[in-house]
Amino acid sequence: MTAELDLICDGCRRPIADDDGYLWVDTAEVRRAEEAIRAWEEERTDAVDGSLSFSGDDIFGYPAKVRWQAHHALCDPAPGEGAYDIPAAKIRSWEQLLDWTAHLMEKSWLSHTDWDDILRGVHSGGSRLVVASQAGTPNS
């Protein structure tokens, strides 16, 4: 099968062949983001009526989304850390990308990650997942 999508390594910036790497998110970081968001909301929730109110400035203090990272196993800065990972071989086609997106949407933590940027980036020149021809490197 010709690959339609290429994962690009955050470390060396080269495409990741099927068995050489993965797209991953740090699960400990996701938990920290969940807790930070809960705390952020608690601070701004009215103790009496439970309504959430915040100013425009508060938005800047909103906990950052956890970034999905792409790495060759050899370039991974933290191999073996608790991670949710998607092997490069399993995210090679549009169909697979759709299936992963549907699967991930069942996870309560997905919105705390930048999966939306992954999706947007495929066409708008993102850095992690790109249309295969844009990588400019033939599959080996």
Binding residues vs Zn ion (CB under 5 A): 9, 11-12, 72, 75
Rounded to the nearest 5°, which phi and psi values hold at 46? -70, 125
| Residue tagged 């400019």 (tokens) | 136
* Residue 58 Cβ vs Zn ion, minimum distance, rounded to whole Å: 38
- Report yes or no: 65 and 33 within 8 Å, Cβ to Cβ: yes
* Residue 34 Cβ vs Zn ion, minimum distance, rounded to whole Å: 29
Residue 9 or 66 with smaller CB distance to Zn ion = 9
Residue 11 or 63 with smaller CB distance to Zn ion = 11
* Residue 55 Cβ vs Zn ion, minimum distance, rounded to whole Å: 42
* Residue 79 Cβ vs Zn ion, minimum distance, rounded to whole Å: 12
CA 34 to CA 31: how far, in whole Å?
A: 5
* Three-class DSSP category at 105: coil
Residue 44 or 67 with smaller CB distance to Zn ion = 67
Residue 12 or 39 with smaller CB distance to Zn ion = 12
| Both tokens assigned to 129 | 């997942």
CA 35 to CA 22: how far, in whole Å?
A: 26
